[in-house]
Structures are given as C-alpha cells and as structure tokens.
Amino acid sequence: MFAALGGFVVRRPWWVILGWVVAAGVVIGFAPTLTSSTDEASFLPNSYESIRASDVRDQAFPQHENIGAVVVFQRADGKPLTPADSERVTAVSAKLAARNVTPVQAVTPGAVSPNGLVQTSTIVMPEIKDPNDEKPQDAVETLRKSLKSELAGSDLSAGITGSAAQALDERDSSKTAGTLVAVGTIVIIIVLLLIIFRSPIIALLPVVVIGLIAPMATGLIASANKAFDMKADSSIEQLLTVVLFGVGTDYVLFLLFRYREVLREGADPKNGMVHAVSRVGEAIASAAAAVIVAFAALTLSSLGMLRSMGPALAIAVFVTLLAGLTLVPAVVSLLGTRVFWPSKSWREQPHGTGFAKLGTGIGRHSVVFAVLSAVFMGVLALGALGYKPNFDLAGSALPKDKESVVWLKNMEKGFPPGTTDPTSVFLQSRNQAPLTPAELGPFRASLQGVKGVGSVAEPMLSPDARVASYDVVLSDSPASDDALATIKKRLRPIAHESAPPGTKALVGGISAVYVDINRAVDRDYSIVFPVAALCIMIILALLLRSLVAPWYLMLSVALGFGATLGATSFLFMKIGTQPGLMFMLPVIMYLFVVALGTDYNILMVSRLREEAREGHPPHIAASVAVKHSGPTIAAAGIILAGTFATLMLAGNSTLSQMGFALSSGIAIAAFVMALIFTPSLTALIGHAAWWPGHGDTKRAVPAGFEDGPDAGPDPGPGQPGSGPGAGSGPGSAAGGSRRSRRSKGTHRA
C-alpha cells in the first residue's frame, strides 16, 4: 500500500503539489470563520450544581450584579480611615462610575472594614461567558489610570484587585508568550535542522509545508464546527500551532532520516524515496492514528471545551499525516539529493556514532538498560503522589508585585479574602408558595455557622419571593484548597440539609464552579484515559500483529506520564513555592506527552520488527534499531521539547509549569522510553514480543533476488554506501544481500 503510494507520488510530484495548492485554496476560500463560543456549558454540563445555581440566578434575578473587580482604599500612613476619608472614597467611586467605561455598570462604595483600616468599592460588570472577551480587563486598565489621578494629593492610596484585575495582570505578564512560542518554535526548528542536516533547504521545509497546511486545517475545523454544531473557539489556533509544528516536524524527520539512510545504502533518489515511504509510511500512519485516537477520545469528556478540542486537533493531525505521506515526498523527490545541499553527508555512512554505541550496549546488556530506565521513570513517578490541582491560575501565577496581588493582600487587612468573589447560595421553593421570614432567617443562621464562612449577607428575594439569594463570603481565597474544601465538605452538605421542607438549596459561584470542574476532571481521567489507552493498544496490535508488545509499550507510556507529572510536582511544589499545579496540566500532558510521545515508541518498535524480519536475533535487532532510529527520535525529541521549553520564558508560573512538563515529558518519552526502555525490554522478551503474529519471522526472498543483476553492483570505494560503516557494525551481517533486496524491492515498486 505505502510502496504504491510512494510510487505514485514520485512519478507525479507536480500533480500532487498542485492538488495540495488547489485543495488549500478551496478550503481556505469557502470555509467559515472560526468563531468564539459564548456558551457557559463549554466548561461544565448543566447537571453540575454550580451550573444549575447559575440558571436559577439568571431566571430569578435577571438584573443581578456581578462583581467584576474591587477597588481597595486605605490611608497612605496605614492609620484607620476617617469619616472624611470615607467621603472621599464615595466621591472617587462616583467619578469612576461617571466615566462610563464599557462594560462597567456601576462602582458601588461599601462599608469600612470592622477594624477601620480598609474600605472597598465594588466594580459591577455583566457576567462574561466568552473566555476570549477582554473588555473587563480593558476596563480595569482604564480605571486604574483614572484612580491614580483622582487620588493625587490625597491621604488615600488605592488599587484594583478581583477576578478582572487578576486577568489583566496575567495578560500583561504573559502577553509575550504567544510571540515567544511562535518565534521560538520556528527558530528552534530551523536551527536544529541546520545542525542535524546542515542544509538550509531541509531547515525551511517543515516551516513552508506547515505554513501551507495550517490555514487549511483551521478552515476544515471551522467547517466541521458548522456542520456538526461543535463549539471549538478561535483560541484553538494557538494550540494548533504547536500541534502542527510538533507533529509535522516529526513526520518530516521520520521520512528524511529514512530517505538519507536508503541513499547511503546505494539506492538512487527516486527509488530511495519510494522505499522510504514504503518502510516508514506504516509507522507514520500508525503514529498519527494513535494521536488522532487520543485526541478523539476527548469527545468523552464531560467538559465541553475538551469535547470540542479533541475533534479539532484530530482533524489537524489527519491533515498533517496526509501532507507527510504525499506533499513532503513530492517536494523531496523533485529536489532529489539537492535537498541535502550543501552537505555531502548523505553519501557516506557515519562511523562510530553514539547511537551505534548505545545500540551495542543495549544489545549486550539489555537487562541493565531495562532496569535502569524503568527505575529512573519509576522514581520520578513517585513524585506524582504529591500532585495537587491548583485553580488559582491568576493569583498563584502572578509576580508578587502585581497590583491585583498587592491590593488583595491589603484588602485582607480588613476583610476575608473571599470578598472579591462571594459564593452564592440559593434557596428555592419547590412549589408556588413564597418563602417566609421563618424559613429565611434560620437558613441564614445555618450558613453562618459553617466553618470557613466569614459572613452571610441578608437574603435578597426574587420578585415572586420564590427564590432567595445569599451572598456568602468565605474566610479563604476563592480558589484556594481551603475554600474548595469549605464548599465541598461543609457548605454544600449543610445547605442541602438545612433547606426547609418544600424548598431546595443550590450553591454556586466561582468556588463552587472550581469544585465541580475538579469533579468533572476526575471523572474524565477515569473514562478518557482508559478508552484512549485501549484504542492505542488496538492500533499497536494491528500494526505489530502482536498481543504482547502493546501491553509493555503502554506500560512504558504510563511510566513516562507518571515520571513527567512527578518531576513537575517535585520541582514546582517541593523545591518551588507553588500550592499546586495547574488543574488542567494532566490533561494537557495527556494531549502531548502521551499522544505525541507514543509516536517515538511506534517508530522504534516498527524498526525493531523490521530488523527482526531481516533475520536478526532479538538483541542484534535492538542494536540495529537503536543505531538507525536513534538519530531520528533524538532529533524529533529535541526539537519538540525545545519548542515547549519556550513557554518557560514567558515569566508566568502557569506557563512555566506547562513548558517544563511538556518539554521534560517529550524528553523522557524520546530519550528514556523510546531509545532505551522499549528496545531493551523487547530484546529481553525476544520472539514472544511478537506473539501470536510472528511479526519477527524472516521474510522469504525469491530465488535470484539475493544478489541479482537488478540490484546493481556494490558501490566501489568512495561511492555512496561504501566505507567501513556501510556493511559493518551490529546487525549488518546481511550487508550486501540486504541492500540488494531493498534495491530490487524499489524497482518492483
């Protein structure tokens, strides 16, 4: 199949390239715009209590006020506020409101704190359901400038904190992240490919190819959104950049390394490309299928944003797969050996490479390498036992000198931290009867007695008196572990139990949303991960015709995942000062470390099977596989890990966590899992690794094909494929006959 595909592409390269250009033009020209989703259910389904509470609020209190940010006032000398100071706070709040900054609805002054040190004003904004809407941040930025001018010459100092203010500070601190990732990705790809191949053409090839298919992939995703009513929003484009460059560069490297290897063995450029596609095509297709399945498994998530993200990324990988098997071979077949210009290294076999030595070591000491690599990943995985999710992505990630962080601390001098985002508790009548004071008072008292609750405001009744809303200020920061524990373990159970007969209670607000997201993510881990693992195992079983190999390959992937999570937890929570890791980090690691890391395992195990079919015993097959596939896997791993590492330059703790986790995870997957653990364990298991398909059975070669005239003469001294490394080294006993069979095979193709 792949030999036929390679033959078609090599014979008609211009038609293939033209087909891609036309297809890209049609898709880009007719695809709808990738629009943003404003559906709150994109985060949680309606079955969760926080969402049901939000629905009750919207129905019963359509004009409810939402706290977008909080202005915190205090005296510059640190003394208690005077009545004149409070009058100035009221006047300043009125002037801020009079500026009519969109989307601010009001700036309402509050009471002075019980100790007299702090007074706040609430900045009321409509609830923003679109995560891409930055109007609240822009409003805070404008109000901060106005606040400074209004307080000039007074005894007061003030700052703005709260959710919108934290979002603004986070945006400012990481506004260069997108540029760093995009530029860093391209620079790393170009520089590393220049170092590896010493060819500017190869260095630019992935950038040009991906530049063509990226808008095409975006157009197909937008079309799929429209056709199937999916909710993926335009923020997916940032993730697509990393996926397309990461996967695309991997597939280009898989093909070019094999192409160079075949040229070194004496094949001519045209037949060499056919052979490269025929041999590495199955590995690329299987690797892409594993990634597509892993992404598609996200459709089982209870979080709508993941359900829509999965198919979008799967479409992008599918387009990349098609380009890797058709567009790239077509371009390279036109260039021939000029693609390596000005380097001449494609003509000669390397001598005594590090990967040859590593392969020899693995072949001779498989037990040692298998145990050491397993212990290394296992020890790192122990750190995952200390993993804790962190929902305070803005507060914990921001530098301590940011205004929202400074003034949150100042506010806590007089008010509980939960003041910025009160929890909402709704008491709803189950029948048409209105709520009575005899029901409202005792219920409020029960809420006030909950440990972790700072204060409970008087209830606000809906116009029909069938719903009462209580603003509950928690004693802890809304995104902290203590606040979430208060909601989950105490406030919700007591609210449900204390609801008078004929009523029901619902607890909502940002802290309740975090509790429900945590519950949803835990549910997804128990469903999405096993389903994806099972599907990947099926793909591996079909590729390898084995029921044994998929089990230990997935074991290696699980070890790599655990090692990555453990290393990240240890670095940021034990050595660093972070209270936890970003709550979505395990899912993001799944998307990249597991899905993309499986690519390297598939490439290695495919080569192991191929070498076994050449007649090599298991240990020799492992040596040769590491020697030939090692440079490909190492190069792909370095490029992809370097790409993710650019996130650590953004000056943001959340992005630093993501960058370290993904770069270290890819490095572990490439250099420990695929290069050492998988080949050494395969060598130890031996022929049983391919049971029951006997995938390592030496393929029969028809009589006359071993060294027939069609194979061409062995190259003379100084010709491609000659030299001490061409037919020597571990596993090269078949030297000339192996080249002859490959050459004959490419002629037949």
Token output for 452: 């972790």
Q: What is the pLDDT of residue 730?
A: 36
Q: What is the pLDDT of residue 512?
A: 92
Least confident of 105-109, 112-116, 145-149, 385-389: 385-389
Least confident of 135-149, 384-398, 412-426: 384-398
User: Which of 390, 283, 337, 241 has the alpha carbon at shortest distance from 604?
Assistant: 283
Q: What is the pLDDT of residue 397?
A: 59
Q: 43, 304 in Cβ contact below 8 A? A: yes
Residue percentage of the chain with pLDDT more than 70? 85
Q: What is the pLDDT of residue 542?
A: 85
pLDDT above 70: residue 544: yes
Calculate Rg over the CA atoms of the chain. 31
Q: What is the average per-residue pLDDT within 74-80?
A: 92
* Length in residues, the chain: 749
Q: How far is CA 149 from the centre of its chain?
A: 43
Greater model confidence, 11 or 306: 11
Q: What is the pLDDT of residue 93?
A: 93
C-alpha count within 13 angstroms, C-beta hemisphere, residue 166: 21
Q: What is the pLDDT of residue 181?
A: 66
Q: 600, 670 in Cβ contact below 8 A? A: yes
pLDDT above 70: residue 671: yes
Q: What is the average per-residue pLDDT within 497-502?
A: 93
Q: What is the average per-residue pLDDT within 203-231?
A: 81
Distance, CA of 673 to CA of 675 (rounded, Å): 6
User: Which of 741, 618, 732, 744 has the alpha carbon at shortest distance from 685?
Assistant: 618
* Class of domain 65-161 (CATH, top level): alpha beta
pTM for the full model?
Answer: 0.76
pLDDT above 70: residue 40: no
Confidence of residue 593 (pLDDT cuts 50, 70, 90): confident
pLDDT above 90: residue 581: no
**Burial class for 126, CB neighbours closer than 10 Å (0-12, 13-18, 19+):** middle
C-alpha distances (whole Å) from 726 to each of 351, 624, 722, 735 are: 9, 13, 5, 8
- Mean pLDDT, the chain, rounded, equals 82
With residue 326 as reference, give the H or E element that holds it. Answer: none
- Looking at the chain, the domain(s) classified CATH 3.30.70.1440 span 65-161
Confidence of residue 75 (pLDDT cuts 50, 70, 90): very high
Helices (H), 343-389: 354-364, 366-382
Q: 101, 143 in Cβ contact below 8 A? A: yes
Distance, CA of 667 to CA of 638 (rounded, Å): 7
User: One-letter amino acid identity for 493?
Assistant: P
Residue percentage of the chain with pLDDT more than 90? 28
C-alpha distances (whole Å) from 117 to each of 82, 408, 409, 477 are: 10, 14, 12, 19
Q: What is the average per-residue pLDDT within 537-548?
A: 86
Over residues 233-287, the pLDDT tens digits come to 545 666 677 778 878 888 888 888 888 888 888 888 888 889 888 888 888 888 8
pLDDT above 60: residue 373: yes
Q: 636, 253 in Cβ contact below 8 A? A: yes
Over residues 134-185, the pLDDT tens digits come to 888 899 999 999 998 988 888 899 999 988 888 888 777 666 566 666 677 7
Distance, CA of 633 to CA of 196 (rounded, Å): 12
Q: What is the average per-residue pLDDT within 4-20?
A: 88
Tell me the CA end-to-end span of the chain in Å, nearest whole number: 10
- Looking at the chain, the domain(s) classified CATH 1.20.1640.10 span 1-30+198-349+716-749, 352-399+522-697
Most confident of 317-321, 352-356, 639-643, 722-726: 317-321
Over residues 176-206, the pLDDT tens digits come to 566 666 677 778 888 888 888 888 888 888 8
Q: What is the pLDDT of residue 253?
A: 85
Which CATH number is associated with domain 1-30+198-349+716-749?
A: 1.20.1640.10
Q: What is the average per-residue pLDDT within 678-704?
A: 73
Q: What is the pLDDT of residue 712?
A: 36
Over residues 333-366, the pLDDT tens digits come to 888 888 888 888 777 776 657 888 898 999 999 9
Task: Pick 352-399+522-697's CATH classification: 3.40.50.300, 3.40.50.620, 1.20.1640.10, 3.40.50.970.
Answer: 1.20.1640.10
Q: 4, 749 in Cβ contact below 8 A? A: yes
Least confident of 23-37, 89-103, 526-540, 552-566: 23-37
Distance, CA of 348 to CA of 717 (rounded, Å): 11
Greater model confidence, 49 or 313: 49
Over residues 713-734, the pLDDT tens digits come to 333 333 333 333 333 333 333 3
pLDDT above 70: residue 670: yes
Q: Which residues does residue 456 pair with via DSSP β-bridges, in sequence order?
A: 472
Residues 457-461: contacts with CB under 8 Å, at least 24 apart? 457/422, 459/427, 460/61, 461/435
